[in-house]
Amino acid sequence: MTSTQTQTVQKGPATEVADTRQQKTPLQLISQGVSLPGIPRHPTFAAQRKWILEQMALAFRVFARKDYTDGMAGHISVRDPENPHTFWTNPLAVHFGILKASDMILVNYEGVPIGGNMSLPANAAGFFIHSAVHKARPDVDAACHTHSPHGMAWSAFGRPLEMLTQDAAYLYGDAQAVYKDFGGVVLTEEEGNKIGDALGAKGKGMILQNHGLLTVGSTVSEACFLMTLMERACQCQLLAEAAEANGLKKVYIPEESARYTFENSSDAETLYWEGQPDLQFEEYMSKGEHRE
């Protein structure tokens, strides 16, 4: 065949199936049959806000049930749909397991409470962390920070999670960050900004050395799920490290497989739905009181 000739390739069934798969979204690929719908969008800012705050209350209850509570530590923030330079967060010193949509506080980037529950303060450390994340990442609508047990334990090593499990591969490459410059309780704008910068432009989850975990997403459901995923991944990593110390050898996911898993599992729609089963269970258990 000369350089001016072309070759016609006859497509067989396998090629056609591959082409069909390439045309589908990750959510469509994981849905055998009718696909799950996309992320809900509501017709008014008020309706969208109401739904966001209810999802937020459910996420806190997920964290409570999974034992991520630690005194007054831990917070979730969600960007307001109408005023994106403000965000909702939880009040200080209220247990995650009893939080309701009406408990949340709206604060601006200056740290001034401007709406919602004004009877209690917000967490100052939470404000500095979350405001920095929201400023640095306009694509992030929700952020979670907890002092979960295995997350804190693994954070002591100042190392990223290794690609040991399928779940860990959800945080492949730049999706995972480590913040190593622990400066104590976050009570300054400078420290908050350093954490926001460390997350990077593509970060979805971050290990805060000697501190805990931080996750972000385009929905509360996504950020909540990534927090539960990171905590489990930290637990698995610690178990694997203990086994390796006793003579067993870890087997890592190949680079190509880890990247493939990430590309087909870590989009916003899929991660929204990954978080929904836990939130649905909390809604069922709360009997609707999270909405009050």
The DSSP letter of residue 210 is: T
* SS3 call for 85: coil
Cβ burial, residue 110 (10 Å; 0-12/13-18/19+): exposed
For residue 15, name the pLDDT band (cuts at 50, 70, 90). Answer: very low
For residue 100, name the pLDDT band (cuts at 50, 70, 90). Answer: very high
Cα separation, 143 vs 133, in Å, equals 8
Q: What's the rounded mean pLDDT across residues 127-132? A: 94
| Nearest CA among 235, 233, 231, 244 for reference residue 62 | 231
Q: What's the rounded mean pLDDT across residues 228-253? A: 98
Q: What's the rounded mean pLDDT across residues 180-198? A: 86
Q: Is the pLDDT of residue 260 over 70?
A: yes
Cα separation, 147 vs 71, in Å, equals 10
Q: Is the pLDDT of residue 142 over 50?
A: yes
**Rg value, the chain, Cα:** 21
Which letter, b or e, does each residue of 31-61 get, where b requires 16 or more Cβ atoms within 10 Å of its Cβ? eeeeeeeeeeeeeeeeebbebbbbbbbbbbb
Looking at every residue in the chain, the average pLDDT score rounds to 92
String of DSSP letters for 110-148: TS-EEEE--SSPBPHHHHHHHHHHHHH-TT--EEEEE--
Cα separation, 131 vs 262, in Å, equals 27
What pLDDT is attached to residue 5? 44
List, in sequence order, every residue forming a beta bridge with 77; answer none if it has no partner: 89, 143
* SS3 call for 220: helix
Q: How far apart are the first and last CA of the chain?
A: 74
Cα separation, 16 vs 83, in Å, equals 46
Sequence-separated (6 or more) residues with CB below 8 Å from residue 245: none
Residues 71-80 have pLDDT tens digits of 999 999 999 9
Question: Which percentage of the chain shows pLDDT scores above 90?
Answer: 86
C-beta neighbour count of 18 within 10 angstroms: 12
Q: What's the rounded mean pLDDT across residues 7-14? A: 47
Domain 40-286: which CATH number of 3.40.50.1980, 2.60.40.1730, 3.30.70.580, 3.40.225.10? 3.40.225.10
What pLDDT is attached to residue 22? 62
